[in-house]
Amino acid sequence: MQVDPASAAMNMVTNERKNMDKLLKGQLANVKAQQSSLSSINSKLSSFQTLLKDLNKPAALQAQKASLSQEGIMTVTSNGKATPGQYNFEVKQLAQAHQFGVQLTDEKALLPTSGKVSFTVDGKAFAIDLATLPVGATAQSLVSAINDSADNPGVKASLIRTDGKVNLVLTSKESGAAKVFTPTYDGDPASAFGKAFIDGKVITPGQDSIIKMGVGDGALEIKSPTNKIENVVEGLTLDLTKVQKPTDGPMQVTVAYDNEAVTGSLKKFVDSYNELLDLLNKETSTDIKAKGALASDATVRGLKGALANAVRNLPAGMTLTQLGIKTEKSGKLVFSDSDFKKSLEKDPELLGKALMGDDGLLKRMSKVLDPFSKSNGVMATRKSTLEANQKRLDDKMESLNKRMESVYKRYLNQFTTMNQMMQTMGAL
């Protein structure tokens, strides 16, 4: 009775490599599970540290809001550094970009071939020599030459068509009195183009914005080349949109802490901390029913311990309880909105002292976590170790495959030879 050499050889190889296959595949699966877990932790850790940096800014945990007694005049925003209180402003004038218009008889008419169009902006002179324009140059050619010049000190040219007429309009790219200019043409004043320039006029005068701060004779006058005025009051940005009527009177701006926004930021900290802790607990769990892939990993357990210690490291003997945050036995944080508001009413600067700045909890915690998260840190080293383990196991699997291929060929040859011998014996 003959056998199928290929099937018999494969069965022999399968039986021979069964135990080693099981061992290597199990080890590979374990390493890949650890790599996946470590990747999830690194991602969550990175997000948490980014949050720590974002919260350590006045606009987050010291958020402020401004209420205005008149709407539509300006918007006021705070970066969190303004002194809470009431301020009086009066918008007297808005900043404008300077515009000069030259009415042309025909936009397709040829320009003179001599003379210069020139202007000076903020002390910087500029000129276009019409002789350098292409043959047959029109008003559009001059617009392109002005806009495309690398020496242009900040004026945009355009053709504005209205009521069958066309105007060459020159507009300063920036607003403010310093950007006012008067264009001139030094060519033939009797030409149509020359006459148009002589009759040119200001469409919109360039000017600074003007506001008054305070009331009465002692009010301060403040000028700005733009309608966005920053740090007149430290930490406040005023965006002017409308001039007030004389009968409107000063506008009152009240700056106060935005407790709702601050509370939301603090909740983000608590939630993000708990999410990271939940993940670490899951991946290091020793529960037989739900054992974590990194249950015996000293690196991740070290991170978990560092996180638990860091959250208690507040300056000047302060505690999270003072901020309305309690720690459960599990290590997770619980935030009490009511307790926090009571603490903030007693001490409005509590958050700044406890959490912010170079000595606050947020910076301290970030420093504790840095050795784990930096590019050449503890977690990166652990990742490299797992990658090396995977490569070693992949190499072992490849070596096993090559060795088993040789064994297969040997068995295949033996069973083929056996079949040939049986055929020979049967023929005798």
Does residue 210 have a pLDDT over 90? yes
391-417 confidence digits (pLDDT tens): 998 888 888 889 889 888 998 888 888
Residues 142 and 131 in one domain: yes
Residues 162 and 72 in one domain: no
- The mean pLDDT value for 263-278 works out to 94
Tokens 């309608």 locate to 227
- The mean pLDDT value for 42-59 works out to 92
Does residue 346 have a pLDDT over 90? no
Decide which of 47 and 217 is more confident.
47
Residues 157 and 15 in one domain: no
113-131 confidence digits (pLDDT tens): 999 999 999 999 999 999 9
Lowest mean pLDDT among 206-215, 325-334, 349-358: 349-358
Count other C-beta atoms under 10 Å from residue 291's C-beta: 13
71-115 confidence digits (pLDDT tens): 999 999 998 888 889 999 999 999 999 999 999 988 899 999 999
Q: Does some domain include residue 398?
A: no
The residue range of the domain holding 306 is 5-59+260-380
Residue 359 per-residue DSSP state: T
Last residue of a domain, one of 180, 204, 228: 204
Does residue 192 have a pLDDT over 80? yes
Query: What percentage of the chain's residues is helix, strand, coil (to nearest 5)?
Result: 50, 20, 30
Last residue of a domain, one of 161, 186, 204: 204
Residues 87 and 218 in one domain: yes
Nearest of 216, 186, 35, 33 to residue 119 by alpha carbon: 186
Does residue 167 have a pLDDT over 80? yes
Residue 134 per-residue DSSP state: P
**pLDDT tier, 69 (very low <50, low <70, confident <90, very high otherwise):** very high
Q: Does some domain include residue 412?
A: no
Distances (CA, A) of 185 to 104, 127, 167, 178: 14, 9, 16, 22
Q: Report the pLDDT value the prediction gives residue 394, as an integer from 0 to 100.
A: 87
Q: Report the pLDDT value the prediction gives residue 428, as an integer from 0 to 100.
A: 61
Does residue 327 have a pLDDT over 80? yes
Q: What are phi and psi of 155, to 5 degrees?
A: -130, 135
Distances (CA, A) of 88 to 219, 223, 251: 9, 16, 5
Does residue 426 have a pLDDT over 80? no
Residues 83 and 47 in one domain: no
74 touches 251 (CB < 8 A): yes
Q: Report the pLDDT value the prediction gives residue 131, as an integer from 0 to 100.
A: 95
Q: Report the pLDDT value the prediction gives residue 400, as an integer from 0 to 100.
A: 87
Residues 109 and 90 in one domain: no
Residues 170 and 317 in one domain: no
Residues 289 and 325 in one domain: yes
Does residue 1 have a pLDDT over 70? no
Q: Report the pLDDT value the prediction gives residue 180, as an integer from 0 to 100.
A: 97
Q: Report the pLDDT value the prediction gives residue 36, as an integer from 0 to 100.
A: 92
Q: What is the dihedral of CA 309, 312, 315, 316, to 10 degrees?
A: -120
**Total number of domains in the chain:** 3
Report the share of the chain in percent with pLDDT over 90: 56
